[in-house]
Structure 1
Amino acid sequence: MKRGGRLPWSFSSVRLRLLTGLAVLLVAGLTASAVSGTLLLEDFLHKRYENTLKVSAARIGDVIERGPQTADADQLAALLGPPLGIVAVDADNRVLLTTGAAAASADALAQLSITVPTGEIVTDDDVEGVNDLRAIRVPSPGLTVDRGPGEGTVRPAAIVLAIDTSVDDATTRSLIERQLALVGGALLLLLGLAVVVLRLGIRPLARMAHTADAIAAGSLTERLPQHGNGSETDLLAEAVNRAFDAQARAEAAVRSVAADTSHELRTPLSTISGWLDLYRQGGVSGPGLETALGHIENEVGRMRLLVEDLALLARLDAGRPVEQNRIDLMALAADVVEDAQIICPDRSITLAVAPAALVVGDAARLQQVLRNLVGNAVQHTPVHTAVLVDIAHTGHDIRLSVIDNGPGISAEDLPRVFERFWRAEASRSRAYGGSGLGLAIVGAIVHAHHGQVAVESEAGIGTTVTVRLPQAPGVT
């Protein structure tokens, strides 16, 4: 892509495709306008020819109906002057007299006129010898035509009136030629204007391309320009900026996870390395060796837990489907609470009695949700704090709540509780154990089961973590 604010005129460019489409539309529109104008003009002229013939035929018919009449041929020709002409025929359809436009095609007109009913107009379409003429036949009983001195008179049985259309056909051809010239000129002018308009209209896209190049070159804080006018380019810039922001957040999250993971691994690795160095230097022997191995085993267990938690989050982030089995959440909660009571016999950990709560999902993962929630409530609260697990039916959902009356979480820390490796300041001590991924795993598992999780807390009163899961189908 070119730099400097202009987009290239390549065969695949939007600008060239728009211009091509506009050119096609202009050609089609201007051609349609020219063709329709020509057709309308031709229709008007044809109707005018027919009207002239019918009016002239009616005038002659009125004269003939008054009784025997004698007409001078020159006067008749003058009366029905150009572009009209006359062909007078006898009862056998022989030509007796011709004037004006009909002279050159008198015999053909005479034969053509008897092929249609009297009073109907005949045309020259597909008739050899009759060019640019229209005609109508008028019976003329009792009419005598004086052809002039020395020519005598004739008594025609009918008169064929003809009109020459060649003049108007030439006008039509001239109109078509001028329209073609106008269409060509208008097309060039409009395409020139379209180039200017497209260049101005696509300028925002050129700026976007320039900004995108700058972002690709490393200016990660730059964003596509927006004007807040609601235009298509503004909406596109807003959407692309959201994508850049999401990418920036994702990259920041990856960097944060990498840094936190290395930090979490550094402590156990340092402990293991320290004990091994001490052993190599001969500082550990006898009973002390067992102590060293115990510390090393504990640190290995911490690293294994961290790796397993990270692997689980990676699978959940990838959107891999969880098992779909009907599970009684109440039975899972009972097992978790019972285990917690055995591990922490000095703590008040209870389960509110409730009917079966059937959901669809992965039993092991949902049990992990319960263990993490109960474990967090136990680990991060004083010994005298009571922990209650409550399960209830709410409409089409199952609501699971883990409630404690501990010190609570401050309002500024509450939005961050589901962040990975984040610990509230009061519980950041490694004495509590864990990987700092407990609530992050809870959120990922719940969302994988199409549920929701929320935390409500007030300092000095306690904390409530609420999980909502869809009730199993068929349960009333």
Structure 2
Amino acid sequence: MNRTPLAAPPRPRRAVTIRVRILAGVLVLLAAGVIGNSVAGALTLRHYLEDRGEDALRDSGDRVHEVLARGPHTLNDGQLAALAAPVLGITVVGRDGTVVDHVGDDVPDAVNELTADRPDQVVTLTDHPSVPDLIARRIPTSGLTAGTANGEVSVSALVLTVRTDVDRMTVADFISRQAGSVGITLVLASVTALLILKFGLRPLKQMADAADAIASGAREERLPTYSRRSETDRLALAVNEAFDVQVRAEDNLRSFAADASHELRTPLATVSGWLDLYHQGGLTDPGDLDRALERVDGEVGRMRLLVEELSLLARLDAGRPLDSAPVDLRRLAADVVQDAQVIAPGRTVRLHAPRPVHVAGDGPRLQQVLNNLIGNATQHTPAGAAIDVSLEESGGRAVIRVADDGPGIASEDLPHVFDRFWRAGTSRGNARGGSGLGLAIVQAVVHAHHGTVDITSPPGDGTTVTVVLPVPEPVPGPGQGAVPGRGRTRTARRR
């Protein structure tokens, strides 16, 4: 069986560096500009020389016609030279068609022959074997004589000529000089551009080296910056910020994993200890067995609560939308306060809510926010400390405050109260404390409702947590309309 040989994989194309691309682009643009300018200069020079020759022929022809207009006239050598001054040559043709005199022209006979059948016209002679490149104009004459060595002879025509081969040589010399200038300019531009790119792109090379070092594991390495004005510095600052965010995320992930494992290790150790004691026959008394099962059930419940809280935070971090429905915050707060009074009957928990406040949100999650705040205040304050819950609407926003008159939070601990698994170094009331996720869940839920949460704790003056939630605009019903110029709506008066 014949097998088709596998085609060799294509070779990867060599990456073209930014330096080479910029240099090539600059040189192409510069070459196009310089060459275009040289071509335009050569064309302009050629047209100028051509126009100059034709103007010279025209001026000399006009002077010949002025001489002929004076009537019969005899030209001597001086007058003939004066007529030829604007041009390079003049040929005098006798009545028999032969050349009787000339000034400037080296080949008067050939010029006479080539222009014989084209009177009073500008004739261009190029690439002729016996005549250099030139333009000529043959002017017929009558009543004009010319003084020669053989006496006066009648003149039948004057042929004016302008050499153009010299002009062509001038243009060719200009082009050759321009070509040399273009080459020198491109060489100097290449050297200058290389030097500029070498120093100008040095920050990018240093950034690439630093990025390679970071990718190799140097987590503390950062891209160099010199100022905040250049594009490379702005890029370096942005990349450094991205690296910092990544490092913080990795640190948070490691801390999260360590804290979560720590939180699960204690209940797992408790459950494992009771099970080991049971297997070893240490729980023979029914009362001891019941107590062991209660402890195991409590620790399992603790682990279940921790997993539920972690799951909620994961959903909120993923940006999954919460349910949205009308929520009466006063009723919700009243239920939570009543539950707290039942759970801790020796506590003073008061609600200050003079009027209902409605928001659009997830009712169970908002209830969890209030439960966490009141539970946190109950857990971390002395038994005699009072807890006040206030609710009001201000500026189109619902404001919830949970304040206690406990010892407060140390100033160095305030920036960390919303961190996950964070606990103060010394508990304010309970020796064991919770999972350390309560305030983190509060912050996540409030932010998911497009609100804000803030905590203040003056030294020795208690702690106040303030939650601000947006209040939706009321929808006008039948017989209602929006008052012009106001964001809120009011019931329109009936006439």
TM-score range, shorter chain: 0.7 to 0.9
3-state SS of paired residue (2:46): helix
Residue 226 of structure 1 pairs with residue 225 of structure 2: yes
- State the match for 1:270 in structure 2: 269
Contact 1:351 1:390 in 2 (8 A): yes
Residue 290 of structure 1 pairs with residue 294 of structure 2: no
- Residues 50 and 320 from structure 1, CA distance in 2 versus in 1: closer, same or farther, beyond 3 angstroms? farther
Residue 40 of structure 1 pairs with residue 33 of structure 2: no
Residue 20 of structure 1 pairs with residue 19 of structure 2: no
Instruction: Please identify, of 269-278 and 13-22, the stretch whose mean Cα deviation from structure 2 is larger.
Output: 13-22
Contact 1:87 1:95 in 2 (8 A): no
Amino acid across the alignment from 1:39? L
Alignment map for 1:321-332 (pairs within 5 Å) = 321-332=321-332
For 2:125 and 2:266, how far apart are their aligned partners in 1? Answer: 104
Contact 1:98 1:106 in 2 (8 A): no
- Residues 28 and 287 from structure 1, CA distance in 2 versus in 1: closer, same or farther, beyond 3 angstroms? same
- Residues 387 and 134 from structure 1, CA distance in 2 versus in 1: closer, same or farther, beyond 3 angstroms? farther
For 2:392 and 2:77, how far apart are their aligned partners in 1? Answer: 116
How big is each residue's C-alpha offset from its partner over 1:210-242, in whole Å with a ceiling of 9 and x where there is no partner? 333332332222222333474433333322222
Residue 406 of structure 1 pairs with residue 406 of structure 2: yes
For 1:288 and 1:464, how far apart are their aligned partners in 2? Answer: 44
Residue 420 of structure 1 pairs with residue 409 of structure 2: no
How big is each residue's C-alpha offset from its partner over 1:138-182, in whole Å with a ceiling of 9 and x where there is no partner? 7x77651438548941355xx675533331122112211221232
Contact 2:277 2:283 in 1 (8 A): yes
For 1:339 and 1:434, how far apart are their aligned partners in 2? Answer: 19
- Cα distance, 1:458 vs structure 2: 1.1
Contact 1:96 1:154 in 2 (8 A): no
3-state SS of paired residue (1:426): coil
- Residues 83 and 61 from structure 1, CA distance in 2 versus in 1: closer, same or farther, beyond 3 angstroms? closer
- Cα distance, 1:194 vs structure 2: 2.3
* TM-align CA RMSD: 3.7
Instruction: Please identify, of 140-149 and 379-388, the stretch whose mean Cα deviation from structure 2 is larger.
Output: 140-149
- State the match for 2:374 in structure 1: 374
Higher RCO (C-alpha under 8 Å, 6+ residues apart): 1
For 1:365 and 1:340, how far apart are their aligned partners in 2? Answer: 17
- Cα distance, 1:430 vs structure 2: 6.6
Alignment map for 1:236-315 (pairs within 5 Å) = 236-285=235-284, 286-315=286-315
For 1:113 and 1:370, how far apart are their aligned partners in 2? Answer: 114
- State the match for 2:491 in structure 1: none
3-state SS of paired residue (2:426): helix
Residue 163 of structure 1 pairs with residue 162 of structure 2: yes
For 1:200 and 1:213, how far apart are their aligned partners in 2? Answer: 20
- State the match for 2:482 in structure 1: none
- Cα distance, 1:470 vs structure 2: 2.6
Contact 1:328 1:357 in 2 (8 A): yes
- Cα distance, 1:352 vs structure 2: 2.2
- Cα distance, 1:276 vs structure 2: 0.8
For 1:14 and 1:449, how far apart are their aligned partners in 2? Answer: 47
Gaps of 5+ in 1: 1-8, 116-121
- State the match for 1:172 in structure 2: 171
For 1:190 and 1:82, how far apart are their aligned partners in 2? Answer: 44
Contact 2:386 2:405 in 1 (8 A): yes
Contact 2:353 2:392 in 1 (8 A): no
- State the match for 2:481 in structure 1: none
For 1:231 and 1:337, how far apart are their aligned partners in 2? Answer: 58
- Residues 436 and 79 from structure 1, CA distance in 2 versus in 1: closer, same or farther, beyond 3 angstroms? same
3-state SS of paired residue (1:163): strand
How big is each residue's C-alpha offset from its partner over 1:87-138, in whole Å with a ceiling of 9 and x where there is no partner? 8899xxx9999964887566876877778xxxxxx68599x99996556787
Gaps of 5+ in 2: 1-12, 476-487, 489-495
- Residues 323 and 108 from structure 1, CA distance in 2 versus in 1: closer, same or farther, beyond 3 angstroms? farther
- State the match for 1:119 in structure 2: none
3-state SS of paired residue (1:458): coil
- Residues 322 and 161 from structure 1, CA distance in 2 versus in 1: closer, same or farther, beyond 3 angstroms? farther
3-state SS of paired residue (2:218): coil
Percent identity between the aligned chains? Answer: 49
- State the match for 2:208 in structure 1: 209
Contact 2:115 2:138 in 1 (8 A): no
Amino acid across the alignment from 1:154? V
Instruction: Please identify, of 201-210 and 11-20, the stretch whose mean Cα deviation from structure 2 is larger.
Output: 201-210
Question: How many residues are matched?
Answer: 456
Contact 1:400 1:466 in 2 (8 A): yes
How big is each residue's C-alpha offset from its partner over 1:8-63, in whole Å with a ceiling of 9 and x where there is no partner? x9533212211221221221222133223323323443443344344434433444
- State the match for 1:187 in structure 2: 186
- Residues 80 and 253 from structure 1, CA distance in 2 versus in 1: closer, same or farther, beyond 3 angstroms? same
Alignment map for 1:70-109 (pairs within 5 Å) = 70-72=74-76, 76=80, 79-80=83-84, 83-85=87-89, 100=105
- State the match for 1:154 in structure 2: 155
3-state SS of paired residue (1:385): coil
- Cα distance, 1:268 vs structure 2: 0.6
Contact 2:454 2:465 in 1 (8 A): yes
- State the match for 1:200 in structure 2: 199
3-state SS of paired residue (2:321): coil
